[in-house]
A and B are shown apart, each in its own frame.
Chain A
Amino acid sequence: QVSVINTVDTSHEDMIHDAQMDYYGTRLATCSSDRSVKIFDVRNGGQILIADLRGHEGPVWQVAWAHPMYGNILASCSYDRKVIVWKEENGTWEKTYEYTGHDSSVNSVCWAPHDYGLILACGSSDGAISLLSYTGDGQWEVKKISNAHTIGCNAVSWAPAVVPGSLIEQPSSQKPNYIKRFASGGCDNLVKIWKEEEGQWKEEQKLEAHSDWVRDVAWAPSIGLPTSTIASCSQDGRVFIWTCDDASGNSWSPKLLHKFNDVVWHVSWSITANILAVSGGDNKVTLWKESVDGLWACISDVNKGQGGVSAVTEGQQNEQ
């Protein structure tokens, strides 16, 4: 049973584009076309505005919380081509880094698994993906993948950290050999998988199935199985679930979750990867879960509006 437990009035003066809970569900960050990023304390059903961050000169598209072991850090990206990293220092939030290396709107930011360090991937409408790595002492190193997607990159999502080989505890001085990967979706209708090899980022896979711009990709958290799963959604109304069974990451096979009648903008996995949330048409968010026979089924519908129920359930047909 799903119910609304809290409503946070953000007082943004314009459209909200993203809202993200921090790691523990105690803080909420929101960003809006009014160019601001706001942070609220939402413990115990409350809502206290902690910070109103100004620094962008255009609508802010996404925010992302870094892992708490690095402190309270938030990244935001905007139409103004900037990526800003904010940090809480001595109780106040301040800009700690600003990246202006993109030529066009930055659409998506995503922090890498904390095991890799503090690394931020940014996808932009200029077609490039930049990777900002914190190297210490306030310094950031930038690696750029130019022309990652022709026309533009709309989404980036990191693969969970999996240590190849054995999982015995390693002494802290020795960093395990992580194979860093992330997925991106772009206006070339493709989902691409990138892998870091010898310090350079290379395109490892090209996943083709969509017939229109890919708007979002989400790599599912790992639950210990050797399979990897990615969800992608597109303007063509389709949502695909891609799975790769072998550890080398070579053979990805898509499964159509559903074809919606409208653009699908956003997909997101729950933390144990057992539920996928999809923004469908009809002003709805649908929740999907994998069923007994390996098929995906919709388990719930979250809709906004007053009182009106079942607009959906009449005259159903299975379009697959």
Chain B
Amino acid sequence: MDEPDTEPPLVVVPGADSSSRQLCFAWGPAEVLVCETLFGRAGGSRSRCLSRSPCPFRFWGKGRAGAAARALTDSVAGTEDGAPTSSRVFVVRRDQDIYIQTLRKLFNESHGIFMGLQRSEEELAGKSRKAQLVQVSKNYRSVIRACMEDMHQAAVSTRDPALQAQYSTQVSILSAMELIWNLCEILFVEAATAGPLLLRLLDWVRLHVCDVDSMVREVLSSESPSKHKLFWNVVDIFVLQGRMDEARHLLSKEASANPTSVNMYKILDDLMKKMPVPSLSNTQTLTELELKWQHWHEECQRYLQDGTFASNPHMESICKILLGDEDAILEKKELMTTWYHFLVTRLLYSHPTVKPMELRFYAQSSMDLFLGGESSPEPLDLILMAAFEFEMHQVIKECSIVLSNWWFVAHLTDLLDHCKLLQSHNLYFGSNMREFLLLEYASGLFSHHSLWQLGVDYFDHCPEYGRVYLELHIERIPLSTEQKALKVLRICEQRQMHEQVRSICKIMAMKALRNNRLGSALSWSIRAKDAAFATLISDRFLKDYCERGCFSDLDLIDNLGPSMLLSDRLTFLGKYREFHRLYGEKRFPEAARLLLTLMTAHIAPCSFWMTLLTDALPLLEQKEVIFSAEQTYELMRCLEDLTAGNSDKQKFQDDDIETTKVEMLRLALARNLARVIIKEGTVEGS
């Protein structure tokens, strides 16, 4: 498990080619910053030995993917101005695929399928469950194909050669993904058994390997198809792919055009018609099939040995193929184009009842025979081979290494996990393969300004670390608009992520405050239950009132409700505003009572008492007496408390206005007292 599988890939950061600098770096939320520097501080510099000796590494064992390498050869030119050091900072990132517009559909739609799978009925057992999972697999594949289509359209319609190249590459990558997925579906999800296995593999080959259609069209649309130079190629490929009816149909054209070969044709046609193939319905057992096939095989053998087809090399070669003659099949290498096509053809004509577990032997030998030592297997070949060998983990690992993002392996592994095929492997740190890959995939989504929302759902379905990963990532989403902040908040609230809710509300409150939007700041700090901040903002409101004589954001303050109790200052703000409202509605006695309570119950800060008392003035000056005697005494006491407290600190030259106010108040209070004593002393009706 520990043998080195790949060397750690080297990412070259283009920059000034200076060999005496080092790299300084820092993590961003989704990237790494890199810049040239020279380490060594005054507090401890040592001369550095900048040797270029090799640096040994330990490699990742089974189950984890390294990043694929891509050296940047078309790099940005270095600084030209001859400056000794590069003043540039490089931002290095993974998973750039999320920014490709045409792949957006892939991410969005596969998300829907993923969610559907997570929520699907687990109670369904046996066949119906399997059918359900196969359907999910097919859905994923159709999404890949749809994406391929879009990408292909984009490639065709663009004029920019660089873009075209990029799209074309994407198309071939998606095509490879679908190929692999399809095979995995057959072998793992559907777990096709001997018999149907071959049929599925035939379908697979027909769908994915070598594009026959254009050739077929060309031949069929010509005047005399049998004379067409590609005629036999088409017949051959039909035979190689087990498309007997189509092959026979073409051969009949040859027969009618060439009367001399009619007999040969009839025999061949007959053989092809009679060929026993596995069926999807259970009308025959494997043993029956094998028996029939044996007989048929012998019949073909007889005809060949009798020299029936000797005069027509094409037909003879077809007969040999029917007999599963490897050399004959290999001759058609160019038509088959891949070793796995060769594999399936071989199986069709030599061992149609192949069992899943036998595939590995045939696969290995097919690849060896086909490549014949001329070329070595490519990554795709190795992945398919691993699949034929039923090494699921190997498949996942190889795919992780080769593909540029986690999409494929994350979703495939999740599906395989639902098929209960991955139970046996647990990774060291307690998580498992499925979760590991989903975490990686979802983390990658978070650096995107809108795809992050998909990431949330993926994290939700990672039972071990999903929540904490979500907590760490969701805090890093830039809250560029109020809308976005609310969206993020909703997500946090739904999951009871209280810390994050508080944090986000505090951030928004601070932002609003900086932009002088007091109302917004206040409502955010209430939501954050941040008493200190609420106090701060309430003070600002009150200060504003003192300076301008009116409140901003009245709606908010009027409707504070119970959240008023968050902070004393806030309560005061709310109540003070209520006082103003009562006054405006001419409900003077209530207003008066409230005003007094604000001071006596110490809800109002001392600094504000003067303002409150000044507010009391108009009430004192009303025609009707509002304050009772007791209340007036209270007011007088408040005033005295206030002036007594301040007299030591008061700077008289500044506070002429203050002293005048105090005098006015005293006068008004005294007058009120006089009136109210009379009023209260007067007996009703006398």
Contact = CB atoms under 8 A, between A and B. Distances in A.
Interface string B36-66: 1111011110101111111111111111101
Interface stretch (B128-136, B246-254, B466-474): B466-474
Contacts of B405: 1
Given A8-B89, A69-B503, A307-B71, A283 B50 contact: yes
B89 A10 contact: yes
Interface string A289-310: 1111111111111111111111
B469 A223 contact: yes
B640 to A, nearest CB: 31
A275 B508 CA distance: 30
Contacts of A19: 24, 26, 33, 35, 89
B499 to A, nearest CB: 8
Interface string A1-42: 111111111111111111111011110101010000000001
B73 A307 contact: yes
A105 interface: yes
Interface in B492-516: 498-499, 502-503, 506-507, 510, 514
Contacts of B62: 292
Interface stretch (B4-12, B217-225, B237-245): B4-12
B89 A271 contact: no
Contacts of B447: 25
Contacts of A197: none
A272 interface: yes
A12 B87 contact: yes
B529 A171 contact: yes
Interface centre among B55, B87, B447 (most CB of A within 10 A): B55
Nearest to A264: B39
Contacts of B636: none
Contacts of B10: 301, 303, 309-310, 312-313
Nearest to B14: A306
B670 interface: no
Interface string B425-461: 0011100000000010001000100000000000000
A125 B23 contact: no
A300 B478 contact: no
B138 interface: no
Interface stretch (B93-101, B102-110, B314-322): B93-101
Contacts of B7: 310, 313, 316
Contacts of B498: 169
A276 to B, nearest CB: 10
Contact of B42 (A26, A79, A282, A296): A79
Interface stretch (A140-148, A203-211, A255-263): A255-263
Interface in B341-369: none
A249 interface: no
A235 interface: yes
A291 B64 contact: yes
B255 interface: no
A197 B538 CA distance: 35
A281 B61 CA distance: 25
A277 B68 CA distance: 17
Nearest to B499: A115
A318 to B, nearest CB: 5
B17 interface: yes
Contact of A293 (B2, B37, B75, B88): B2
B604 to A, nearest CB: 20
A318 B2 CA distance: 12
Contacts of A260: 55
Question: Looking at A88, A290, A304, which has the most chain B CB atoms within 10 Å of its CB?
Answer: A304
Contact of A10 (B14, B76, B87): B87
Interface in A271-288: 271-272, 277, 279-287
A222 B475 CA distance: 14
B32 A16 contact: no
Contacts of A317: 54, 56
Nearest to B43: A125
A173 interface: yes
B333 interface: no
Nearest to B4: A316
Contacts of A271: 27, 29, 472-473, 476
Contact of A16 (B44, B55, B64, B89): B89
Nearest to A187: B44
B154 interface: no
Contacts of A310: 7, 10
A266 B67 CA distance: 22
A164 interface: no
B85 interface: yes
Contacts of B71: 307, 309
A68 interface: yes
A261 B52 CA distance: 9
B60 A280 contact: no
A208 to B, nearest CB: 18
B530 interface: yes
A114 B503 contact: yes
Contact of B49 (A14, A69, A262): A262
Given A5-B91, A7-B91, A268-B25, A90 B51 contact: no
Closest 6 CB pairs of A and B: A125-B43, A21-B28, A24-B478, A69-B506, A265-B39, A6-B91
24 contacts: A1-B96, A2-B92, A4-B92, A9-B88, A10-B35, A16-B89, A17-B37, A23-B475, A25-B478, A61-B41, A154-B44, A261-B49, A265-B22, A271-B472, A277-B32, A286-B55, A292-B60, A292-B63, A294-B429, A297-B64, A300-B9, A304-B15, A306-B75, A312-B10
Given A4-B92, A283-B19, 10 more contacts: A4-B11, A5-B93, A16-B89, A271-B29, A286-B55, A287-B67, A290-B428, A295-B58, A297-B61, A303-B11
